[in-house]
Amino acid sequence: MMSNNKCSISPHGGTLINCFSDNLDGLSQEANKLTSITVTKRVLCDLEMLAIGAFSPLKGFTGEKDYKSILESMRLSSGLIWPVPITLQVNEETYNNIKNKNKIVLKNEKGESVAVLSITEIYKADLEKEALSVFKTNELKHPGVKYLFESGNYCIAGEVKVLKHTYDEFTEYNTGCEGTRKAFKEKGWKRIVAFQTRNPVHRAHEYLLKVALETVDGLLLHPTMGETKDDDIPADIRMKCYREILDKYFPKNRTMLVVMPASMRYAGPKEAILHAIIRKNYGCTHFIVGRDHAGVGNYYGTYDAQKIFDEFKPEEIGITPIFFEHSFYCRACNSMASYKTCPHDSSEHLILSGTKVREMLKAGQILPEEFTRPEIAKILIESMKEKVKT
């Protein structure tokens, strides 16, 4: 049922930030004269998120005062909730080249100027403390920790002015925060639920989405499309799966597919808070938090990403989390269910691990229809065959 209640949501901090330059020609000319550094794909994704307002209220890379506050209390120095520092790390050689500069230009791997950074400070990061605070571990086998320790000991802070989109894939689906907010208004949606994913939508996801959709006006399927782990399903394959599932199994007037051009940090509970804030900036009022959100390995407890929301007052986060138990197909129920709704023994539950799914796909085996739609299984098998060929 469509809601008649008026419900709007303000950006985090009250103002939607836009870091794109409003003086492109002038800034581009200035950029040609500045010292440059080449940044990673992860930083390019962070620049895109800053530019489109998804990291509001941030206007650039985190300064030392905010950095220390985030690690200590999950808040900016202003007191506003912010769980993960957004930093630009550099090594000592780069630091020595730019330490006396007021501005630098950031370039992508093609050598193109993409942003100008006005440097307010350069400080030494406490990488050990950051790893333990954000990721709950300092083990290098954790992908987030590995990136952190390999990216340099110094952090450059300051506001950025972005010259061009630094994420150029799936452009028709990269609407930014202003785009989704405008679309929601045009559709008359007051209550919007967002779903974060870095995997194809399987039947358990579909079940959660449809349960959530019963209580709101619209669904934003919002996959993370920046850098992910090497063994995650490639972005182009996932997009095929998302389009297929929405086209055939969801009402078109109540769903939207928009990419989130962020990289996964795999920070578990703290990344769940960050993802909620991001969806708030996109204009969503509700956010699905499932089992082991943004997790990797065994670094976080199964429901830690849900429990962390209890550490804050609801009005501080400003978006309503919807918590779901692990879902599965139950043979005895003859339907999708969860531990909250199913009375049967686990032997009746069809649950496939990610490892098992990959093994079946590599072997060309059709995944059970109770686990994933046949159309999705076909896309995944064909993509696996292509991967083996190359």
pLDDT at 233: 84
pLDDT range class, residue 390, cuts 50, 70, 90:
low
Q: Using 50, 70 and 90 to split pLDDT, how confident is the model at 230?
A: confident
Cα-to-chain-centroid distance, residue 48: 12
Six-digit token string for 11: 């950006």
Cα separation, 272 vs 319, in Å, equals 12
pLDDT (tens digit per residue) in 136-177:
999 999 999 999 999 999 999 999 999 999 999 999 999 999
Indicate whether 5 pLDDT > 50. no
Res 3: pLDDT: 38
pLDDT at 291: 82
pTM of the entire predicted model: 0.94
Examine the pLDDT at 6 and tell me if it is beyond 50.
Answer: no
Q: Are strands 335-338 and 327-330 parallel, antiparallel or unpaired?
A: antiparallel
> Going from the N-terminus, what domains does the chain have, and what CATH number goes with each?
24-162 (3.10.400.10), 172-260+266-389 (3.40.50.620)
Average pLDDT over residues 234-253: 96
Would you call 265 a catalytic residue per the annotation? no
Rounded mean pLDDT of 3-9?
A: 54
Q: Return d(Cα 49, Cα 196) in angstroms, integer.
A: 15
Mean pLDDT of 330-348: 95
Higher pLDDT, 54 or 360: 54
| Residue among 181, 191, 198, 265 flagged as catalytic | 198
pLDDT digits (tens, 9 = 90+) for 38-74: 999 999 999 999 999 999 999 999 999 999 999 999 9
Phi, psi of 156 (to 5 degrees): -95, 125
- Write the DSSP string, 62-97: PPHHHHHHHHHHSB-TTS-B--S---EEE-HHHHHH
pLDDT of residue 353: 75
Residue 40 and residue 111: Cα distance in Å, rounded?
A: 12
Establish how many alpha carbons lie within 13 A of residue 169's alpha carbon, considering only the half-sphere containing its beta carbon: 18
Q: 227 pLDDT exceeds 90?
A: no
Residue 6 zone, left/alpha/beta (φ > 0; ψ -120 to 50; rest): beta
Per-residue pLDDT of 72-122, as tens digits, reads 999 999 999 999 999 999 999 999 999 999 999 999 999 999 999 999 999
Give mean pLDDT, residues 280-306. 93
Helix (H, G, I), strand (E, B) or coil at 290: coil
Question: Average pLDDT over the chain, rounded to whole?
Answer: 93
Q: Which of 97, 138, 153, 199 is catalytic?
A: 199
Average pLDDT over residues 326-331: 93
Angle between helices 374-389 and 354-362 (to 10 degrees): 70
pLDDT of residue 257 exceeding 90, the answer is: yes
At residue 388, the pLDDT reads: 59
Catalytic residue list contains 18: no
**Complete edge-to-edge strand list for the sheet that includes strand 255-257:** 255-257, 218-223, 192-197, 286-289, 320-323
With pLDDT > 90 as the criterion, what percentage of the chain qualifies?
Answer: 86
Q: Does pLDDT of 2 surpass 50?
A: no
